[in-house]
Amino acid sequence: CIDNTKVLYYNSSIIIYITQKENIMFYEWIIYFLIYSFLGWCFETTLDSVEQRQFINRGFLRGPVIPIYGFGAIIMIFAAKPVLEKPTLVFIFGAIAATILEYFTGFILEVIFKTRYWDYSDCHYQIKGRICAEATLMWGFMTLFVNYNVHTHISNMVHKLNGTILIISAFVFTAVFLADAVISFKTAADINSILKRLAEINKLTQKLELHNEKDSSESIKSRLKKLSAEHKSSLTKIGMLKKDFIRSHHNAHSTRFNSPFSEFKEKIKQ
């Protein structure tokens, strides 16, 4: 009986230890995601700011993170695990996995917001402007760099964190990240709504102008005046968040309302 009790206690201790270890690993991956999202933001923001000769806060979110890099890095790490001793396969697996992620991320954003936030249409060997051969090669080299150079140092640093600090940090940063995501999604949705209304105004204005040329009347002139006032009012509904959001995607274009989107960008420049 005593021996059985010892065995049960021993087995229970192992189960508790494994469960705790799995929980810690879960929080570690959250931290990895946030770190790589931040590094991706640093990379893109630096490149774009140098090119534009002014600070450009890159990314869909307003905070210093670009989630596609966080998800991309995690996918690269998992894709490379089975073939880590073969660099060529690490390159191929990581490039394919990250390219698939990029394609579907672009597709989802286009479906939801009717806007293309990056466009490879001018590149060689591209598919619907969402992915291209150059970007795929970049993802492959990045997979090699992450797995053989970066992740070792980052994982060592994260492993050294106290368990309590790790969990609290994961909760705090996740809460901030989710709040930022909600605000950014609302901003993108608001922009899309304004663009839709501007497109409707432009279309209706063109029809009324044609009628006005054929048969001018006070009612048509009055409606045209109201539409013009609403058009100007819509263009001024650009708060700081919306301005920053559009500046962050200066190469973006709307798949449905590109003419109003161009007006929006021109207004911000002015």
**Predicted confidence (pLDDT) per residue in 181-220, tens digit:** 898 888 888 888 877 888 888 888 877 777 766 666 677 7
Beta bridge partners of 131: 127
Q: Which residue has the higher pLDDT, 112 or 137?
A: 137
Residue 17: its pLDDT value, please? 41
* Mean of all residue pLDDT scores within the chain: 81
State the pLDDT confidence band at 12, using cuts at 50, 70 and 90.
very low
Residue 212: its pLDDT value, please? 66
Integer Cα distance of 248 and 229 in angstroms: 28
State the pLDDT confidence band at 238, using cuts at 50, 70 and 90.
low
φ/ψ (deg, to 5) at 127: -125, 110
pLDDT surpassing 50 at residue 15 = no
Average pLDDT over residues 161-172: 88
Convert the pLDDT of each residue in 137-156 to its tens digit.
999 999 999 999 999 999 99
Q: Are 170 and 24 in contact (CB under 8 A)?
A: no
Average pLDDT over residues 44-59: 83
Residue 8: its pLDDT value, please? 46
Residue 16: its pLDDT value, please? 44
Q: Which residue has the higher pLDDT, 18 or 77?
A: 77
Residue 147: its pLDDT value, please? 94
State the pLDDT confidence band at 134, using cuts at 50, 70 and 90.
very high
State the pLDDT confidence band at 23, using cuts at 50, 70 and 90.
low
Residue 250: its pLDDT value, please? 66
Residue 94: its pLDDT value, please? 93
For 1, the token pair is 């009986």
Token pair 């917001």: residue:
113
pLDDT surpassing 60 at residue 11 = no
Integer Cα distance of 123 and 141 in angstroms: 19
Residue 206: its pLDDT value, please? 79
- The pTM for the full model equals 0.75
Q: Which residue has the higher pLDDT, 94 or 55?
A: 94
Residue 172: its pLDDT value, please? 93
